[in-house]
């Protein structure tokens, strides 16, 4: 099977989040047949919910649609390294592959900080591919925070 990246759709979600005044992070969840089953961006401000990260939103939507708390064989694309909360949710949902864009030394929980998937308590570890379209994801974040400071 030819590898098809869904990161462009995740970047679209990140751009839409920025337009809503949210930190520009977007995520897409793809089922084993290659169908996009959920796409979302951050909505923490809109929903007054610190857990309303893009990854949580797509996992919630896909689990609700599947009527299951687990999503075996599903792949998650997200524009920024997941935080510890999202990494734990990814493990709990049994996501097959995690593709992410920009590294997040400040709040990331995969390659930084808690490094959730290397922890002995991680019951499930996805295949992890980082740096996918990282430059675009980083540029979005940089622009967003620069504009907010201005
Ligand atoms: Zn998160």
Q: Residue 8 CA to chain centroid, in angstroms?
A: 13
**pLDDT of the residue at 65:** 95
pLDDT in tens, 37-66: 999 999 999 999 999 999 999 999 999 999
pLDDT in tens, 74-85: 999 999 999 999
Ligand 1 centroid–CA 76 distance in Å is 13
Q: Which positions are catalytic?
A: 55
**Residue in the block written with tokens 């490094």:** 115
Ligand 1 centroid–CA 32 distance in Å is 23
Q: Which residues contact 34 (CB under 8 A, 6 or more apart)?
A: 4
Instruction: Enumerate residues with CB within 5 Å of ligand 1 (an ion).
Output: 53, 83, 86
Q: What is the layout of strands, in order, in the sheet containing 97-102?
A: 36-41, 26-30, 75-80, 97-102, 127-129
Q: Which helix (DSSP H) or strand (DSSP E) does residue 29 occupy?
A: strand 26-30
Q: Quote the DSSP letter at residue 21.
A: T
Rounded to two decimals, the pTM is 0.95
């Amino acid at each position: 099977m030819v590898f098809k990246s869904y990161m462009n759709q995740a970047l679209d979600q990140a751009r839409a989040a920025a337009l809503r005044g949210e930190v520009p992070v977007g995520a897409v969840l793809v089922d084993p047949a290659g169908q996009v089953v959920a796409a979302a961006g951050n909505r923490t401000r809109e929903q007054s919910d610190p857990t309303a990260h893009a990854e949580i939103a797509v996992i919630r939507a896909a689990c609700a649609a599947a009527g299951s708390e687990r999503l075996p064989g599903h792949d998650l694309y997200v524009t920024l390294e997941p935080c510890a909360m999202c990494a734990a949710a990814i493990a709990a949902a049994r996501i097959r592959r995690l593709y992410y864009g920009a590294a997040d030394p400040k709040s990331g929980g995969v390659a930084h900080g808690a490094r959730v998937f290397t922890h002995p308590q991680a019951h499930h570890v996805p295949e992890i591919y980082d740096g996918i379209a990282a430059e675009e994801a980083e540029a979005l974040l940089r622009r967003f925070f620069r504009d907010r400071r201005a």
